A and B are shown apart, each in its own frame.
Chain A
């Protein structure tokens, strides 16, 4: 029996076979969606390029050459040079490391926290729900950038502080979303049936309620990617995020904005990078949501 036949078997003989079969079918479903595949390819490509930045870069991203500032794209400088004569191509590559790293770190912090807080609040109800949701409202009431600014100002400026600050401001919408989804399923008979097995509240929330919130969360996360990058840029622009001479996409746009009419390549290149990665995450997220829901297959 070929691996494919084993994976696609209608009557799996073991749980392991069923799980792998399901994963394979999920992969096949994802493959059938060309937009999702495009998203996946772009995400993987950009991650690979960021990882291989030292090999792919043609110049030192921090090396200044004031005699060579604001040069248009050429053979020596593929994407031109910025206001300090640094090579934009190399800076975009190294900036990718920082930007993508920050995005991934923020999402890895925010998604589980928001998800668990929201699901616990929604499932428990009562005073716990009220307390958690008021806290969420307090965070939601502040404009994102201002709250992040306050946090970074309290800590020392830098990439780590920026990540924590953005995470602190980004979780409330996830908690809200997870709570709304939880409220929809908490009174369902299938949750009642799990309660009747004698399972603990934590088990019910983690194993039975959370999976129902995942689909919309994935979409929300992918929609949020670009806004996280822009908040990071905002912090960087104010000198509170990535510190010069570190390259970071948001900061690169912020400083390159002044040259948008004459030396358009300076802000355009990192802008295109942000646009591409946001779009790719979006497409991938949409595809993933469909794959996560067994009914869609």
Chain B
């Protein structure tokens, strides 16, 4: 479904991503973990086309992205951002925010009501502004917007790290349900190992712009890791859980 080969991203003199290669199969849920500055979010933004790629090849669903992204790409691939306060237009109502992808792709507006229902938001919120909603409700709106044009790939950039822990649980459950119902392919970026382990089957650990290790959920949970950075991250998470 998604292939990246020797991906490099440079911002001026900063070499943020240094040769990342990865493969994600259709329907798979793939996690990218690492500390801030490891380049994990940059990889995701490069996939979405929000950050230009300096070198390397990106292929999504057989489409080589070097030739640019057409409208069909944006129907296939959608993204949910970390900060639900920043990812919704402050001057637009929820209705308008959800209508935008429909207008662009020429889809019926009846989908708005359905999308709100899918993310368990009350229809009463439809004509509210983002600042009138709680953090969890806003992230649900962001998820509804990502889903409204029926994508097959969802890129998730720390979707719960700006939320309260109880809201995080609700959003994680929602994402799991949606993935099961729609057979979506996920790429989840997070610094939180338990969150990634909860949603993802395969996990790549990034450090200094490179993937240092890729392992499956069971190995991550069991602590079977070969790279010292992975082991360090696992130890830290376990330490906090008091295990």
- Taking the complex as a whole, does A directly touch B, i.e. does some CB pair lie under 8 Å apart? yes
Interface residues in chain A, defined as those with a beta carbon under 8 Å from any beta carbon in chain B:
10-12, 15, 18, 21, 188-190, 192-199, 203, 207-208, 211-212, 293-295
Please tell me if the beta carbons of A294 and B87 are within 8 angstroms of each other in the complex. Answer: no
Smallest Cβ-Cβ distance to A18: which chain B residue: B127
Once bound together, how far apart are the Cα atoms of A10 and B128, in whole Å?
Answer: 9
Number of cross-chain contacts by CB at 8 Å: 78
- The reply on B67 being an interface residue by CB < 8 A is no
A-B CB proximity, top 3 nearest: A198-B74, A18-B127, A189-B87
Q: Which residues of A contact B81 (CB under 8 A)?
A: 189, 192-193
* 7 A–B contacts from the bound complex (CB under 8 Å): A189-B82, A189-B86, A190-B87, A190-B88, A190-B89, A197-B104, A198-B104
Binds A, one of B11-19, B93-101, B183-191: B93-101
Once bound together, how far apart are the Cα atoms of A293 and B142, in whole Å?
Answer: 21
Q: Which residues of B contact A194 (CB under 8 A)?
A: 89, 100
Please tell me if the beta carbons of A295 and B90 are within 8 angstroms of each other in the complex. Answer: yes
- The reply on B149 being an interface residue by CB < 8 A is yes
- The reply on B145 being an interface residue by CB < 8 A is yes
Residues 55-86 (chain B) with a chain A CB within 8 angstroms: 69-71, 73-75, 77-79, 81-83, 86
Q: Which residues of A contact B90 (CB under 8 A)?
A: 190, 212, 294-295
Residues 12-52 (chain B) with a chain A CB within 8 angstroms: 48-50
B152: shortest Cβ distance to chain A, in Å? 14
Once bound together, how far apart are the Cα atoms of A188 and B88, in whole Å?
Answer: 9
Q: Which residues of A contact B123 (CB under 8 A)?
A: 11
- Which listed residue, B48, B105, B124, touches A10 by the CB 8 Å rule? B124
Interface residues in chain B, defined as those with a beta carbon under 8 Å from any beta carbon in chain A:
48-50, 69-71, 73-75, 77-79, 81-83, 86-93, 95, 100-101, 104-105, 123-124, 126-127, 129, 131, 142, 145, 149
- Which listed residue, A18, A198, A294, touches B71 by the CB 8 Å rule? A198
A-B contacts besides A18-B126, A197-B105, A294-B90, 11 pairs, CB < 8 Å: A18-B127, A192-B48, A192-B87, A193-B81, A196-B74, A197-B74, A197-B100, A198-B71, A207-B100, A211-B91, A212-B91
A23: shortest Cβ distance to chain B, in Å? 13
Most chain-A Cβ atoms within 10 A of its Cβ — which of B69, B91, B126, B131? B91
Smallest Cβ-Cβ distance to B75: which chain A residue: A198
- Which listed residue, B50, B126, B129, B142, touches A294 by the CB 8 Å rule? B129
Q: Which residues of B contact A294 (CB under 8 A)?
A: 90-91, 129, 131
B189: shortest Cβ distance to chain A, in Å? 14
- Which listed residue, B126, B129, B131, B149, touches A197 by the CB 8 Å rule? B149
Please tell me if the beta carbons of A193 and B131 are within 8 angstroms of each other in the complex. Answer: no
Once bound together, how far apart are the Cα atoms of A196 and B123, in whole Å?
Answer: 25
Please tell me if the beta carbons of A193 and B71 are within 8 angstroms of each other in the complex. Answer: no
